[in-house]
Structure formats: structure tokens, C-alpha cells
Amino acid sequence: KELGIDLVKFNNATPYPGTSLYNTAKRENRLNIQGLYENFYTISAFAENPFRKIPFSYVPEGNTEEEIRNDILYSHFAFYFSFNRIKKIFKQPTKGLKFNYEGTGKIIDILKEIMRRMPSMSVVGLMLAVKFFQLFVSVLTKKNTSLTMGEFVKLFTDLKKGNEIGTQINDKN
């Protein structure tokens, strides 16, 4: 956060053939290849359908897929769900995260472009809402996560106060 980074990715470890991680996963008998490497997808925790999860290709000993998935989702949530970031989206809707808007710059053209993207954005928003609800249930039931309810609630109290919240990820480790 101190560096002013606009974009981060939190990925699950994916042991591609020819890498030392692949050799480690194979040696530990923890390599999970499905089909023609169909589950070798580094952003599966974030991009997959929450109702048809993609099994990880590698889960380190002492972890579970759901714990890793929840940590990745929480990290995305903590980084992107901040008052200043949300404010920037509304103040500068054509900047950041490759909006790729090419037009006159008139508000009506910008609104047309947003409306054109609304169906796909709605589906993505719904899928993310389901994932974060699942994360909330995991925190609430204390299953598949080391997060406490206090840490989860702090995200919302910091947002309400207008604070940046991503720094608590580093504080946790």
C-alpha cells in the first residue's frame, strides 16, 4: 500500500513441469494433474465458478485447498476493498484496470460503455459476492481459515472510517 500499487495478484502455487515446485510436488506425492493439465490455473481461487471449484494442482503439506482459497480471497478483498480505491473508481471511471474506453470522453459515451458492460460485470459481481459470502461463512464457523471474526470485521470498520485496509495482511504474518 505504501508504494501506491494499483494492481496485485494473489495466486495459488501451480507446479508447472520443469520447475523446482513441480519436482517438489512430485517428490512429496502431492501433485494433482487432472486431464491435460486442466487444473494448472494460477488464478483459479479468484476466477473459478464458486459452485464448480477447480481442484488445485498442488497443496503444500499442512494446508488445505479451502484454507488457501480463503487466504487468497481475503487478500484480494483486503487490498481492493478500500475507501480510496472505490472513490477513485467513481471519480475516474475510465482510468485504471484497463477500462480501454475509446470515445469522445463525454459522460453520455462513458455511460453507454458502462451499460454495454453491465451484464458481464453483473455476473462477475455476483460470483465474487458468492465467494466472499462463502469466506464469511468460513470465518463465522471457524472452518478452513485462520482468520478471526475480528480481522474480518476490521475490513468493514476501516472502510467506514475511510482508512486503507490492506496493511493488515502484512501485520497478520
Output the pLDDT for position 80. 78
Output the pLDDT for position 102. 61
Output the pLDDT for position 159. 63
Output the pLDDT for position 4. 72
**What is the residue extent of each domain of the chain?**
20-172
The mean pLDDT values, 10 residues at a time, for the chain of 173 residues are: 76 94 96 92 84 93 92 86 70 56 66 76 85 90 87 74 48 42
Start-end of H helices in the chain? 20-27, 44-47, 65-80, 83-91, 107-141, 149-161, 167-172
Q: How far apart are CA 121 and CA 107, in angstroms?
A: 19
Q: What is the CA radius of gyration of the chain?
A: 19
Q: How far apart are CA 173 and CA 171, in angstroms?
A: 6
Output the pLDDT for position 173. 39
Nearest to 53 by CA among 130, 125, 126, 119: 130
